[in-house]
Structures are given as C-alpha cells and as structure tokens.
Amino acid sequence: MVFGTYKEVVCARSTDKDIQKASQDGGIVTALFAYALEENIIEGAIVAGDTEDPWKPEPTIAMSREELIAAAGTKYTFSPNAIRIKEAVRQYGLEKVGTVGTPCQIMGLRKMQSYPFSTRFVADKLKLLIGIFCTENFPRDSLKTFIDGKMHSSLAATTKMDIGKGKFWIDTIDGKEGLKIKETHGYEQAGCNICRDLVAKYADVSTGSIGSADGWSTVFPRTEGGYDIFQAAVEAGVIETKPMDEGKFGLELLEKLANSKVNKGNDERERRAGLGLPLPQEF
C-alpha cells in the first residue's frame, strides 16, 4: 500500500497565529512538537534550525516553543538531525526526544531503533518521529546553482521555498518565482532517484502539503503513540482538522504522486541492478 499503515488521514492546521505565520502550510510539525513539549510528552525536539548562511540548516535541539517557531519552515536541503540524538540524550539529559525528518531519515531512525548498535540507551529515547512528505531533496550547492542560474535570484534573497503545482517555488523580496519541477531533477541528491517513499511510512505522524489546500496540511497519524498525541492536540484545540478532499486535488493526487515515485524508484533500481551497482536495503 503506497500510503503505508495509518489510523486516519485528515487535513489539519495549527490554530496558533504565530505558528501559522512562521510555518510551511498548516504548521503541523511545529504545532505537534510545541504541544508535546508543553505536555511533557517530549523534553526536546531535534529540528532543522537556521544558521548565518542562508538556507544552510543545522540540527538544533529545541526545548521551547520559541525555539521551535524560530526553526519552522521547510528547507529543501538536508539537516542531518540524527547526529544530535546522542548529544540530546547524554549531554542534555533528555529522556524523551522528538525529531523530524524526510522519509529516508525516518527509515534510518527506525533501523537504528530495531538494531541499536552503538545507540543502546539512546534509540529508545525517541518518542515522537514526525515525517515530512518528500518528492526530492537537493544539496545546498545545487539549490544555489539553479536558483542563481535558472531562477535569476539568490539564496540570500529567498524567504521561502515550496514545491507545488508542478513547480519549485521561491518567494523573494521581489515576488514569487517558479521553475518547472522537471528542470530541477538533475540537481537532486543521487539517492532520491531510487527512493520509493513519499509519505514517510515509518513515522509516528507524517505530514505535507500535497492533497490539501493552501494553509492546510495532509496528516497521517500512524502509530498508536502518534495517533494519541495528534488526537490530544486536536482535543486541546491547538490543531484543527477537516476531512480530506477526495477529488482530483486531494487524496487522489497524493496517491498518484506517491505511486509515480514508487515507479520512478523501481525503474532506477532496475537500471542500477543491471549495471551491477549496489542498492540499499529497505524494510
């Protein structure tokens, strides 16, 4: 099943104006972590924080709502959040940690939890894994190359990045610019070409914009723990929900794109296998 296992799927958004303003789409990652922190479900969350270099995210251990809001918004280049898990547990002394990642990062964390070689007494401290939908990801230098060269702008002038309606979008001080997504394919991380998970199937809760209207996110609470936290956040009024649109731009669109990622990944895997190249194992 291309969506993996899940308890429900809904459109959702944060009801907090500060989170809405700072976040991508419905602000679900920030809202859920902020709620989990407040309720002591987690004691800290490892998120992609900003640095002095524009669009060069750095894993940050956020322990307050303010730190979460400061790190909000999607960055289309990697933040290796896993590298700070040991530090969060051993140096910060956190017993309950949350983190967010792309589907491949979440898969890595689940493998770490299943086979905790060199991460004993660390992997079990991960209490909330939020996965973000991912169609592709770019090395920062590649982002810079096509934003400079094809979009005639710069990372420094970019205030927001987004993928939607077949284009890679940037908001800049001069307005909004879009580049056809097929023109960005050559700049992706090489591993993205064999990736078959768009919806972060192994997360506790996964979320992304595809399938929902602007300002809302599609959300899959998946595990018991993820479902309980999400439901509690909804009941507390920090997240509001509405049913998914079953039409062309709702779940149907998400399914179409998720299937197309599986097919693309399978084709490339077949091609690489034919060349005798090694392929990573999935679950």
Q: What angle do CA 197, 48, 153 make, to 5 degrees?
A: 90
Kindly report the three-state secondary structure assignment for every residue of 247-279: CCCCHHHHHHHHHHHHHHHHHHHHHHHHCCCCC
At 40 the three-state DSSP class reads coil
Query: Given candidates 164, 191, 215, 243, which one binds ligand SF4 under the rule CB under 6 A?
Result: 191
Residue with tokens 């099943």: 1
- Asked if 276 contacts 75 with a C-beta cutoff of 8 angstroms, the reply is no
Q: In sequence order, what are the residues at sequence separation of 6 or more whose Cβ sits closer than 8 angstroms to the Cβ of residue 130?
A: 28, 29, 32, 33, 98, 99, 100, 101, 203, 204, 205, 206, 207
Give the 3-state secondary structure of residue 39. Answer: coil
**Binder of ligand SF4 out of 136, 162, 177, 204 (CB under 6 A):** 136
Q: Does 103 bind ligand SF4 (CB under 6 A)?
A: yes
Note whether 48 binds ligand SF4 by CB under 6 A: no
Regarding 145 and contact with ligand SF4 (CB under 6 A), the answer is no
One of 42, 192, 203, 219 touching ligand SF4 (CB under 6 A): 192
- Chain length of the chain: 283
Q: Which stretch binds ligand SF4 (CB under 6 A): 48-56, 63-71, 161-169, 189-197?
A: 189-197
Q: Which stretch binds ligand SF4 (CB under 6 A): 28-36, 99-107, 221-229, 269-277?
A: 99-107
Site for ligand SF4 contains 219 (CB under 6 A):
no
Q: Answer whether 19's CB lies under 8 Å from 47's CB.
A: no
Q: Please say which residue, 108 or 178, places its beta carbon nearer to ligand SF4.
A: 108
- Among the listed residues 62, 68, 89, 104, the single contact to ligand SF4 using CB under 6 A: 104
Q: Is 165 exposed, middle or buried (0-12, 13-18, 19+ CB in 10 A)?
A: exposed
Smaller CB separation from ligand SF4, 113 or 189: 189
Query: Is there binding between residue 137 and ligand SF4 (CB under 6 A)?
Result: yes
Contact range with ligand SF4 by CB under 6 A, out of 8-16, 91-99, 100-108, 239-247: 100-108
Contact residues for ligand SF4 (CB under 6 A)? 102-104, 134, 136-137, 189, 191-192, 195, 197
